[in-house]
Amino acid sequence: MKVLSWISVLLGLAGAFATCGKSQIDELATKACTVKETTFHGWKAFSLENGLVKLDIVPAIGGRIMSYNLGDYPFLYVKEAEFGKLYKAPESETQRVWHNYGGYKTWPAPQSRWGGPPDPLGSFLDGGRYTGRIVQQGEEVVEVEVVSPKDTLIGIQFTRSTLLRKGTTRVILKQKMTNVVNKAVTWSIWDVTQVRGKLREDLSGQKVTHNSGAWAYFPLNPKSIHPKGFIRLDGKPNDSQWYPNIRAGIFGIQYQFHKSKVGADVTDGWIAYVNQLDNYVFVQRFTYFPEKEYPDGGCSAEIWTDPNFPYMETEVLSPLVTLQPGESYSFDVEWVACRCAGPVIAVNDYGVVSQHLSLKKDLGSTSISGIFGVYTPGQAVLIGKDEKENVLVTEKLGTVSPFEMLTLNRTISLPQEVTTLEIAILNLRGERIGILDKLAITGDNYGHSGN
């Protein structure tokens, strides 16, 4: 039995991949980032691109991110009736109207204490005119910062930097809230992202309110403070849109144009939106702090489904933080996108999982299967190791890209000494980026062991 080291495996694979020549995958992985001042449907905006994803940020309408596209595919809901419009701050309660532009914005939580949307009189965090500037403008990375007005009614000012690097769909939102009044304030940073509930128009010309393929998922906390693992925040109990444990430990919501809101103490730190008609996935990732208090009865993630316009809201909340005058608190959220089927049952640094790597032995043959999406162009390799971590099997699975779902269903040759199978993602130089999925093998028992 030939035993290989990781170094020899990677050198061999790098040589094999080098023979492939220039391809679309190479171009996607190496295209430079760009950032520019532009217009977005009549508003002044900043546009960030890297050949994989594109974002448009409009400072004048509450600092909203109005697009996050994988190639030409748009994930975010935008309200066409509001395109290009700007409004004066209301001067009376009768003038308070919420102009729902769509996209992504940052609010203070809890909502019950904030009193919006629309902004309470004298507050400017939702609809205020933020300032914006380009912070970084290089081939490897671009960054745009937006800053809210100083809101002396609520007591805080929001600052958000949006950072995009070359060769990945990953976007980092670096968020900060600062106390701008002369007393202590307690708030949570609340991310609210409107995603599309209507994915296609009816070709017969009939009015379509939604499509059955619009789904959202989050992982349930096995030690949740909520008896069911989640809590109803609005709408009817046991809404037909809700699918608790659609897979083991996964809560699913199928958008059906109902009013509902559900929240949970999500400790694994992700919430996914999936267009299951066309297999597009948008994930928001965040850090959970178990020792901290969260708004809304302890929720770190929430999903709202709107009954009037075709969108869902995927929402991420930071812990509640008390800030003394002049103090700041930072909370980062990561966005990633790829092609993959639903449901999404796991998320990691390298991709998403719809079906874990599995192994089947039948009539003397061995086969593997699995369904995944990746954030970075490169190569996928199946690695088989023995109990001492020696590499016994390496099999190229082909090129991978955020624009293509990785579906495995193939027969393999597997020595009996192999105790672990891994799907490794490599860059175009043959260097390992990370492990997408892992399977432990013990005799005739096969179990996913995480990564």
33-86+98-346 has which CATH code?
2.70.98.10
- CATH code that applies to domain 6-26+348-448: 2.60.40.3020
For residue 152, give the H/E element and its range: none
| Strands 141-147 and 131-137, bridge-based pairing | antiparallel
| pLDDT-based confidence at residue 358 (cuts at 50, 70, 90) | very high
Which two structure tokens, joined as six digits, stand for 355?
Answer: 């079906």
pLDDT of residue 446: 62
**Amino acid in the structure at residue 188:** S
Range from 12-26, 177-191, 346-360 carrying the lowest mean pLDDT: 12-26
Confidence label for 203 from pLDDT (cuts 50, 70 and 90): low
Higher pLDDT, 84 or 21: 84
pLDDT at 200: 79
- Residue 120 pLDDT class (50, 70, 90 cuts): very high
The full set of domain ranges for the chain reads 6-26+348-448, 33-86+98-346
For 112, the token pair is: 């019950």
| Backbone φ, ψ for residue 7 (5° rounding) | -65, -45
Per-residue pLDDT for 311 more than 80? yes
Q: In 127-230, at which residue ranges do the beta strands (DSSP E only) sit? A: 131-137, 141-147, 156-165, 171-179, 185-196, 214-219
- What integer is the mean pLDDT of 384-409? 96
Give the confidence band of 199 by pLDDT, cuts at 50, 70, 90.
Answer: confident
**Cβ partners under 8 Å of residue 95, min gap 6:** none
Mean pLDDT of 429-448: 84
Strand partners, 180: none
From the list 371, 441, 355, 439, the residue with the least C-alpha distance to 449 is 439
pTM: 0.93
pLDDT of residue 30: 85
What digits encode the pLDDT tens for the residues 254-297?
Answer: 999 999 999 999 999 999 999 999 999 999 999 999 999 999 99
Instruction: Fill in the amino acid letter for 6.
Output: W
DSSP states of 348-381 as a string?
-SSEEEEEEEEEEEETTEEEEEEEEEESS-EEEE
- What pLDDT does residue 8 have? 43
Express each pLDDT in 210-255 by its tens digit: 888 999 999 999 999 999 999 999 999 989 999 999 999 999 999 9
Please give the Cα distance from 217 to 238 (Å, whole number): 16
Reply yes or no on whether the pLDDT at 1 is more than 50. no
Q: ∠ CA 267-269-271 to the nearest 5 degrees?
A: 120
Q: How far apart are CA 14 and CA 12, in angstroms?
A: 5
Instruction: Report whether 288 contacts 268 (CB < 8 A).
Output: yes
Q: Rounded mean pLDDT of the chain? A: 93
The tokens of 367 are what? Answer: 């086969």
| pLDDT reading at 450 higher than 60 | no
The one-letter code for the residue type at 117 is: P
Indicate if the pLDDT at residue 20 is higher than 60. Answer: no
- Distance separating alpha carbons of residues 267 and 300, to the nearest angstrom: 8
